[in-house]
Structure 1
Amino acid sequence: MGQKLKIAGWISIGAFAGALTMVQLQAVARGGPTPLPLEQLQQFAAVFGIVKTDYVEAVDEKKLITDAISGMVSSLDPHSQYFDEKTFKEFREGTTGRFVGVGIEITQEDGLVKVVSPIEGSPAYRAGLKPSDLITRIDDTAVRGLSLNDAVKRMRGEAGTKVTLTIFRKDENRTFPVTVTREEIKTQSVKGRVVEPGYAWIRLTQFQERTVEDFVRKVQEIYADQPKLKGLVLDLRNDPGGLLDAAVAVSAAFLPDNALVVSTKGQLPDSNSEYRATPADYQRRGAPDLLRTLPAALKSVPLVVLVNEGSASASEIVSGALQDHKRATIMGSQTFGKGSVQTVRALGPDTGLKITTARYYTPSGNSIQAKGIVPDVMVDDTKDGSPFAILRTREADLAQHLTAGRGTEAAAVDPEREKARQEALRKLEEESKKPQSERKVPELGSNDDFQLQQAINQLKGQPVVVSKTLTERPAVPEGTAAKPVATPPAQPGAPARTPGDKTPVPAEKVEPPASKPAP
């Protein structure tokens, strides 16, 4: 029996090696830059064969290959990823802003799923779910012990199907079931309001396919209410990025025609590009130029851009372009530092490969990779400081992150920062037990939003409370990357979703402390 297994193993190795040889010949025939390393690929085939025949129990050979591909790609940098059928579908849903579910943004608290906010008009919204509701069961499954991803998977499903959520509402001290019918959810990536006569606030939560359309509509609403707008705050805090064409379009809305927005440099000729404030660089094929309908005054209205450590990728493209062209005052704290471009290549109808193909540079030629955009004016989260900013993950915290130049950096331990993180986590746990109205970090865009208040003061020419503790964070030197950390819970009252690439290629959605996009 053992001999038969060995024979079967060598047959499979031989077949696999033969296939690899064919791939080698095809790669050379296509004029690839270097031939494939046949000896190493044969070794891989040998390991595959031994695992297939000798492992203690039968293994799924498709899963073996998929895991091998995933491991190869994920070892490159934190943003390259292999998509199987399921993850590819979820990824595309995230960039379109559409998915089937109940329509809530969630985070975790005390091992349970906490509702951050129901999406307006969604099934959850109509069912009466409220912020701070705790979900204790999803159908017959207890939530405690589930990961946030597992909870999301259980709440999503086919349109028209039902899911029963058991809710614990703290302020009413009661538990009750809510049955919700799943439907397609269209998330709104743009919010805004008139803060006071003459001054408005627009927040972008993510750069999605519909972001430009929603942005234009919101600007038109504001100008209809305030035709003589004196100042505008563009809020990119906790915006993890998204699509490059959307970032270029939002930048173009404020910049002179044909102004340079961002440039990219990579190994392939196609990766070396410039993107400018012109329809040719942001307009999708066959779609109208939505920016033509914007008020002309938007090009010159005094502008403040709010950013923080959760502002990443496409957010950094916009803030970097507006800063370099001196079109806006950048306020807040130093941004995340994702200065790389990912390209998604289809490997079949349902699978794909997202791979880092270039670094991007601000109009002045600066790379923000592992550093971020440094605000013109540093402002704390609250009047009492930024107690939880240390918890926000940065690009420099991620193992194998790209440097601003060549290569990647391995992880190194930063004892002082880790100590500060543990102390902040303790304070955050205490803070989460307080009523929403008493928490230190209020909801972004609310009347109690300290940074928004300072931005309005800046636009009015009034004194701004500048941070006494925030300082510029230099780019991480080679070989001294910070210790990688797990993403902590979302900050109280500051929910965020989960950075910018060449259309139609979506970018990565990871990093900053974030609530989970609505299941």
Structure 2
Amino acid sequence: MRPVFRQPVRQAVKMLPAVLFSSLLWAQDSPQPAEGDLPLNELRTFVEVMERIKMAYVEPIDDKTLLENAIKGMLANLDPHSAYLGPESYQELQESTSGEFGGLGIEVGMEDDQLNVISPIDDTPAFAAGIEAGDLILKIDGQLTKGLSLMQAVEKLRGKPGTSVTLTIGRGHQAPFDVKLKRAVIKNRSVRGQLLDGDYGLVRISQFQTHTGKEVGKALQQLEKDNGKPLAGLVLDLRNNPGGVLQAAAEVADHFLSRGRIVYTEGRIPNSHMSFDAGPQISIASHIPLVVLINGGSASASEIVAGALQDHKRAVIMGTNSFGKGSVQTILPLNDDHGVKLTTALYFTPSGRSIQAQGIEPDIQVERGKLSTQSQPGMIKEADLARHLDNTQQPASPERKARAEQLQNDNQLAQALSLLKGLNVLGKK
């Protein structure tokens, strides 16, 4: 894989309201600014509003608070993913990409002024409580979330491990209901592998972190070692994966591609132009039959992987439409441990598709659900006959029973495995 990119530039900007105000007064009678210059009339309005708030607001408020609130509003109104990061939020973002952070284990977004769940993270309080992608968080500890910014909502969801928070959830046509969660230190293991029925494997990626690409390589090697021979097929599970590090997504796709473009990004500044190509090295997973599972909680980096494998016709994409986040955010450090998360580019699949607000459409649409069997009344089996011979073979192991139950409870995974088996049957004819 050959990434092409440049490091973002560190910028620090300090604003002095008194100097700004005096300069605006001095420029009051100056001619209208040329294109690209500061809009003086709007800046005069900004300073006037700031002065009115300081003089007339019911409680005293200092310049620093007003300016920070102005910056937050300026970024919040760009798009749902751009935000001003104070010291705590900046630190939390760095921790989340490294794989350990405090909170509920829930990825949230803001749409139409309403806080919604993009996806819960595996093995976290939110996941254990049954929080689902697409749920609306109507209240946090009784306070309405409508009207809160995304960062304000995240701050209320975060807290010390061991403390509790109650979320009021809206789900489909159900009546709103409360879920009480206990915050924890989230140690997110992003990759898990297991053998399925026969010689088929499953690799589940819950989030794309810095080392996810390497972890996928190790999981593939371990599966082949546990199986004792090459895998006959693989299911790559990206459901409810909210995304993460762009380069990690490219590294994961590189395990399944031997050549060709994986993803590229385009924006207004040189730093936003990146391209990732598959390297010439051959992975153990380069040629085995592959099914990728996605759903409405699969976002960003998950969609990069699914889109690349779909465009190269390397995998069958199965499940439901993905989330549709096709933008790239850059973290720009500021002074005093602050930062700005700014949308700087859109990413495109190898064929040039932008999935922004569209998502990845699966090749085979399979809804979530459980498999159920129906017995036919009146049917008699050998075991029902008197004096039938008992089976002397060993009963199924607990591991095999657990796998069978897993497939019965997960219709999408069961369908993916059936498809892999069918592809192998056809391939042997």
Q: Same fold (TM over 0.5)?
A: yes
Asked if the contact 1:13–1:48 (Cα under 8 Å) also holds between the matched residues in 2, the reply is: no
C-alpha separation in 2, matches of 1:20 and 1:85: 31
1:324 counterpart residue number: 311
- Over 3 Å counting, the alpha-carbon distance change for 1:301 and 1:375 in structure 2 is same
1:341/1:85 CA distance change after superposition, 3 Å = same
Q: Which residue of 1 aligns with 2:13?
A: none
- 1:145 equivalent in structure 2: 142
Question: Is 1:344 matched with 2:341?
Answer: no
Q: 1:298 aligns with which of 263, 285, 291?
A: 285
Q: 2:160 aligned to 137, 155, 169, which one? A: 155
In structure 2, what is the Cα distance between the partners aligned to 1:299 and 1:211?
A: 17
Task: Go from structure 1 to structure 2 and tell me whether the alpha carbon gap of 1:378 and 1:16 turns closer, same or farther (over 3 Å shift).
Answer: same
Q: Distance in 1 between matches of 2:71 and 2:243?
A: 26
Q: Identical aligned pairs, as a percentage?
A: 42
**Cα gap change, 1:297 to 1:45, in 2 (>3 Å):** same
Displacement after TM superposition at 1:373 (Å): 0.9
1:455 shift after superposition: 0.4
Deviation at residue 89 of structure 1 after TM alignment = 1.6
Once residues 345 and 288 of structure 2 are traced to their aligned partners in structure 1, the CA distance between those partners, rounded to angstroms, is 33
Tell me the amino acid that sits aligned with residue 205 of structure 1.
S
Contact 2:317/2:363, CA 8 A, preserved across alignment:
yes
Q: CA RMSD in A?
A: 3.8
Instruction: Report how far residue 16 of structure 1 moved.
Output: 3.2
- CA displacement at 1:50 relative to structure 2: 1.6
Q: What stretches of structure 1 of length at least 5 have no aligned partner?
A: 1-11, 23-31, 108-115, 125-129, 135-142, 157-162, 167-178, 280-291, 386-443, 464-519
Say whether 1:16 aligns with 2:23.
no
Match of 1:274 in 2: 275
> Does the 8 Å contact 1:313/1:337 carry over to 2?
yes
Gaps of 5+ in 2: 1-15, 27-33, 108-119, 132-139, 146-152, 166-181, 373-404, 425-429
Whether contact under 8 Å (1:235, 1:305) holds in the other structure is: yes
Structure-2 residue corresponding to 1:188: 189
Aligned-pair CA distance for 1:46: 1.8
Equivalent residue in structure 2 for 1:372, among 354, 359, 381: 359
Aligned residue number for residue 87 of structure 1: 89
* 2:409 aligned counterpart, secondary structure: coil
Q: Distance in 2 between matches of 1:21 and 1:96?
A: 48
The alpha carbon displacement at 1:216 in A equals 2.0
Partner of 1:25: none
- Tell me the SS of whatever aligns to 1:46: helix
- Pairing of 1:178-327 with structure 2 (within 5 A): 186-226=187-227, 227-257=229-259, 259-278=260-279, 296-327=283-314
Query: 2: CA distance between counterparts of 1:306 and 1:40?
Result: 49
Task: Quote how far apart the aligned CAs of 1:153 are.
Answer: 3.3
Query: Do the aligned partners of residues 457 and 369 (structure 1) sit closer, same or farther apart at CA in structure 2, a change above 3 Å counting?
Result: same
Q: Output the CA distance in 2 between the equivalents of 1:36 and 1:131.
A: 51
Equivalence for 1:49:
51
Distance 1:275 1:117 in 2: 27
Q: Distance in 1 between matches of 2:351 and 2:288?
A: 23
The residue aligned with 1:68 is 70
2:381 is aligned to none
Change over 3 Å in CA distance of 1:21–1:264 after alignment to 2: farther
Write the distance in 2 (CA, Å) between the matches of 1:378 and 1:199.
21
2:98 is the alignment partner of 1:96 = yes
Aligned to 1:457: 418
Residue type of the alignment partner of 1:199: Y
2:218 and 2:187 map into 1 onto residues whose CA distance is 16
Q: Does 1:354 align with 2:333?
A: no
Structure 1: distance between partners of 2:339 and 2:213: 26
Verify the 8 A CA contact 1:303 1:328 in the aligned structure 2.
yes
Partner deviation per Cα, 1:429-465 (whole Å, 9 max, x = no partner): xxxxxxxxxxxxxxx96552100010011111179xx
Offset, 1:151 = 6.9
SS in 2 for 1:263: strand
What is aligned with 1:448? 409
Mapped to 2, the partners of 1:256 and 1:92 lie a distance apart of 32
Aligned residues: 326
SS at match of 2:418: helix
Q: Give 1:371's aligned amino acid.
A: Q
**Which residue in the other structure is 1:176 paired with?**
none
Which protein shows a greater Rg?
2
